[in-house]
């Protein structure tokens, strides 16, 4: 089927209102209004005013059909011209509004007719009937528009002519309203015809079934995902609980082992990181498997700095910075038992408490003084307690510094393996 209304819209307005209307506004505007007011009886005028008045009077006689043009008639014609202009503008505005509604309804109907071909055995009779209806209405509307065009084109300004233009506009509205109402009914009945057809019902059932299956799949997939999340969460919780239990067991064993390890008071290798913090804030300053702390004071002691080394959150090595040895100079001399320095005091204290494994030799001391060795050790309790002499750079000098280290069992064994002295015997020569 064809679309009639869009074509009709442009046809009507191109042949009637848009190009056909005569205007009389100039007759009632300056300078004509001034000329008529100056020269109309009982007033008198001469010269060019009189000539212009005569021309104006003749034109007013033509449009009104009256010979006697009085001032009252002039004012009446002015009001009638304004009314005529307002009527024409109203026709244009209402026509555009009504035709737009009708165009939208027709487009909907055309789409419904195209849609119906998919489901009906043959084209709906409603679609065929509409073409006949539209053709008949087109002729009527074009006839009215032509008549309106003629009325607007006539150089007449009378009550009868203005009423004629108004009535033609109303007739045009009625035709458009009839057309619109026709399309409303046709769209409604055509949709009902389509929706009641077997093909449409079958397709809708198929679509509904596909939606049902898709919805079931969606629900099943959501349940599957939810179940996987639940299982994963339960597994995570179980693994976390297992990890915590193993950690608690490990922590308990470590704490038990720590009690048997040598250390400073209750600060001993083998303690868990959290247990260490309860004693002294030896915080880790990088989060890796092996971490260390800053050197700080513990137990309120001012002359010792403590440093912790952790492996897997457990205290592996506790180092005590005891400060400088009171021996003067860069070189290490031989200490006598009665020397009053920190080294001899610590050596005696540790020897009284722990079993000596080995100590540095005279040769070791000489090598240390020659910078062939970086440290000298007294090793106690299978490597778990170390008394270390080290050379510490300070300003522009090097001072001899004393450290005490407490090691966990595994680190102690590794230390002994790496540092136990191998000395030549007489048989070697």
Nearest to 161 by CA among 36, 24, 57: 24
404-417: per-residue pLDDT in tens? 999 999 999 999 98
* Integer Cα distance of 274 and 23 in angstroms: 101
Residues in the chain: 429
Tokens of 303: 């002359």
| 385 falls within a domain | yes
Nearest to 316 by CA among 373, 376, 375, 383: 383
How many helices and strands, by DSSP H and E, does the chain display? 12, 7
| 303 falls within a domain | yes
The answer to whether residues 173 and 322 belong to one domain is no
**pTM above threshold 0.75:** no
Burial class (CB in 10 A: 0-12, 13-18, 19+), 393: exposed
Identify the pLDDT of residue 320.
Answer: 96
Identify the pLDDT of residue 376.
Answer: 93
The answer to whether residues 156 and 17 belong to one domain is yes
Identify the pLDDT of residue 117.
Answer: 87
Q: Report how many domains make up the chain.
A: 2
The dihedral built from the CA positions of residue 67, 69, 73 and 78, taken in this order, carries a sign that is positive
Alpha helical stretches, state H, 280-424 = 342-353, 362-369, 409-419
Which residue in this structure is represented by tokens 């082992």? Answer: 257
Among 177, 196, 215, identify where a domain stops. 196
Q: 292 in helix, strand or coil?
A: strand
The answer to whether residues 46 and 158 belong to one domain is yes
The answer to whether residues 146 and 23 belong to one domain is yes
| 269 falls within a domain | yes
The answer to whether residues 103 and 182 belong to one domain is yes
| 252 falls within a domain | no
* Integer Cα distance of 367 and 376 in angstroms: 10
Q: Dihedral through CA 343, CA 347, CA 348, CA 353, nearest 10?
A: 140
Mean pLDDT taken over the chain: 86
The answer to whether residues 266 and 190 belong to one domain is no
Distances (CA, A) of 105 to 41, 93, 114, 192, 416: 59, 19, 14, 16, 99
Residues whose CB is less than 8 angstroms from the CB of residue 383 and which lie 6 or more positions away in sequence, other chains included: 357, 407, 411, 412, 413, 415, 416
Other CB atoms within 10 Å distance of the CB of residue 409: 15
The answer to whether residues 192 and 303 belong to one domain is no
| 227 falls within a domain | no
The answer to whether residues 133 and 52 belong to one domain is yes
* Integer Cα distance of 338 and 233 in angstroms: 68
The answer to whether residues 75 and 180 belong to one domain is yes
* Integer Cα distance of 103 and 117 in angstroms: 22
Contact 299, 280 (CB under 8 A): yes
Burial class (CB in 10 A: 0-12, 13-18, 19+), 24: buried
Residue 273 CA to its chain's centroid (Å): 42
The answer to whether residues 268 and 191 belong to one domain is no
Identify the pLDDT of residue 170.
Answer: 93
The answer to whether residues 276 and 409 belong to one domain is yes
Contact 143, 11 (CB under 8 A): no
| 32 falls within a domain | yes
| 249 falls within a domain | no
25: domain range? 5-196
DSSP at 371: T
| 216 falls within a domain | no
- Segments of the chain with pLDDT less than 50: 1, 14, 18
Report strand pairing: 385-394 vs 290-292.
unpaired
Tokens of 290: 């092996």
């Amino acid at each position: 089927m064809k679309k009639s209304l869009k074509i009709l819209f442009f046809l009507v307005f191109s042949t009637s209102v848009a190009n056909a209307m005569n205007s009389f506004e100039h007759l009632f505007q300056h300078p004509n209004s001034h000329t008529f007011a100056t020269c109309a009886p009982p007033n008198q005028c001469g010269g060019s005013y009189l000539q212009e008045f005569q021309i104006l009077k003749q034109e007013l006689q033509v449009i009104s059909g009256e010979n006697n043009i009085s001032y009252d008639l002039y004012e009446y014609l002015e009001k009638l011209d304004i009314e005529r202009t307002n009527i024409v503008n109203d026709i244009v505005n209402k026509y555009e509004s009504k035709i737009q509604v009708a165009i939208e309804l027709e487009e909907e109907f055309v789409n419904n007719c195209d849609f119906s071909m998919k489901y009906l055995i043959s084209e709906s009779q409603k679609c065929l009937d509409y073409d006949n209806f539209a053709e008949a209405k087109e002729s009527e509307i074009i006839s009215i528009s032509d008549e309106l065009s003629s009325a607007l084109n006539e150089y007449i300004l009378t009550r009868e002519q203005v009423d004629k233009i108004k009535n033609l506009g109303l007739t045009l509205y009625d035709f458009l309203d009839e057309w619109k109402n026709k399309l409303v009914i046709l769209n409604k009945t055509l949709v009902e015809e389509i929706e009641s057809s077997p093909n449409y019902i079958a397709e809708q059932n198929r679509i509904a079934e596909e939606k049902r299956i898709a919805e079931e799949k969606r629900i099943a997939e959501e349940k599957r995902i939810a179940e996987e999340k639940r299982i994963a969460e339960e597994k995570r919780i179980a693994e976390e609980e297992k990890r915590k239990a193993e950690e608690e067991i490990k922590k308990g064993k470590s704490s038990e082992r720590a009690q048997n390890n040598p250390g400073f008071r209750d600060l001993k290798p083998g303690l868990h990181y959290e247990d260490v913090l309860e004693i002294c804030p030896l915080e880790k300053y990088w989060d890796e498997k092996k971490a260390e702390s800053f050197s700080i004071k513990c137990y309120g002691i001012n002359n010792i700095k403590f440093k912790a080394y952790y492996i897997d959150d457990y205290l592996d090595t506790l180092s005590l910075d005891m400060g400088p040895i009171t021996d003067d100079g860069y070189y290490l001399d031989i200490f006598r038992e009665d020397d009053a320095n920190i080294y001899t005091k610590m050596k005696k204290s540790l020897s009284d408490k722990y079993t000596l494994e080995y100590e540095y030799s005279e040769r070791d001391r000489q090598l240390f003084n020659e910078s062939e060795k970086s440290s000298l050790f007294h090793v106690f309790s299978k490597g778990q307690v170390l008394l270390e002499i080290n050379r510490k750079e300070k300003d522009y000098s090097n001072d001899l510094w004393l450290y005490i280290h407490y090691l966990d069992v595994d680190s102690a064994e590794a230390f002994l393996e790496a540092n136990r002295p191998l000395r030549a015997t007489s048989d070697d020569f």
